[in-house]
Amino acid sequence: MKRFDLELLNTLVTAVEQGSLSAAVPILCRSQSTLSEQVRKLEQQCGVPLLVRGKQGVVPTPAGQRLVDHARKLLALNDVAYQDMQGLLLAGDVRLAITDYFRPDWVPTLLRRIRGRYPRLRLHVAILKSALVEEEVTAREYDLGISMMLPDVAPQPPTGTEQRRLLRREPLFWVAHSSLELTPSEPVPIVALPASCALHRYTMSMLEAHQRPYYIAHSASGVAGMHLALSAGLGVACLNASAVPEGLRRIDDALKLPRLPPVRFHMSAATPTVSALVAEVREMLAQSAC
């Protein structure tokens, strides 16, 4: 019986999770042509197409998705087996706080991968506002926190070399559903989180500074609620790039809305020195955030 090459399976999984072969290049540290050849070998071995390639990237075929599901389990078992042989089967609790603006579609996959790699890990996760993430990590209520920092907020200096790390920068977009019809002369119906949200306050101040009339059409309790309201065509929202779901379109120019600088996502640790388990989870988060 033929056996799959784990490296080829890892390439397939990474390409699907990142959405394209080009996005998988910096993670796997291989050229795009090499990754394409690896996927071709897998398809030849399986006898069926595994990916549908297009201008927007790649999506798995039904057979490709089945293989991805199998591959994730095989790769997780490989990691566990290697760690066992190295005496690295870490166990314990890790408390993680994340802002819901941070890659909301990707977070469930990321958490599954962490749990698959560390089967003895007890992972405690909370979705909080960025300001609360920082407060709770500083108070050592959580071991690690991922928060969003707005353009006009200077990052606080870390108290340790590894205590705060920049994960990624993302542009901010004004978005709405295609069913929403507005003209530049109309007040903009805004979908946002409550006024306690820093991004809400920032974007409203930008609209006021540019003298762009608006009103709050819907106040949601979280980003998932904003997605529902936007999909229903209730208004316009400002979201970072990774928090924009499919089906929404950018409307910055169409409604003459102010252009906004990018935001930054940081990962903070409760203490400069962390346990081996927290350090491993921190590195996984950092690598997956790229």
Give DSSP secondary structure letters for 27-62.
HHTS-HHHHHHHHHHHHHHHTS--EEEETTEEEE-H
How much is the pLDDT for 65? 92
For residue 29, pLDDT beyond 50: yes
How much is the pLDDT for 243? 92
- Distance (Å, whole) CA 252 – CA 238: 10
Q: Residue 133 in contact with residue 98, Cβ under 8 Å? A: yes
Min mean pLDDT across 37-51, 197-211, 229-243, 269-283 is at 269-283
Once rounded to an integer, what is the mean pLDDT over residues 21-42? 88
- Distance (Å, whole) CA 106 – CA 9: 19
For residue 162, pLDDT beyond 60: no
Among 91, 44, 89, 261, which residue's Cα sits nearest to residue 170?
A: 261
Average pLDDT, the chain: 85
Q: Residue 230 in contact with residue 179, Cβ under 8 Å? A: no
> β-strand 214-219 against 188-192: which pairing, if any?
parallel
The larger pLDDT score, comparing residue 86 to residue 98, is at 98
Question: E strands of the chain, at which residues?
Answer: 51-54, 57-60, 92-98, 121-127, 144-149, 164-170, 172-177, 188-192, 214-219, 237-240, 248-250, 263-269
How much is the pLDDT for 66? 92
Q: Tally the C-alpha atoms within 13 A of residue 289's C-alpha that lie toward its C-beta.
A: 22
Instruction: Categorize the per-residue pLDDT at 159 as very low, low, confident or very high, splitting at 50, 70 and 90.
Output: very low
Q: What is the pTM of this model?
A: 0.67
The residue behind tokens 């990754």 is 35
For residue 287, pLDDT beyond 90: no
Once rounded to an integer, what is the mean pLDDT over residues 117-144? 87
How much is the pLDDT for 23? 87
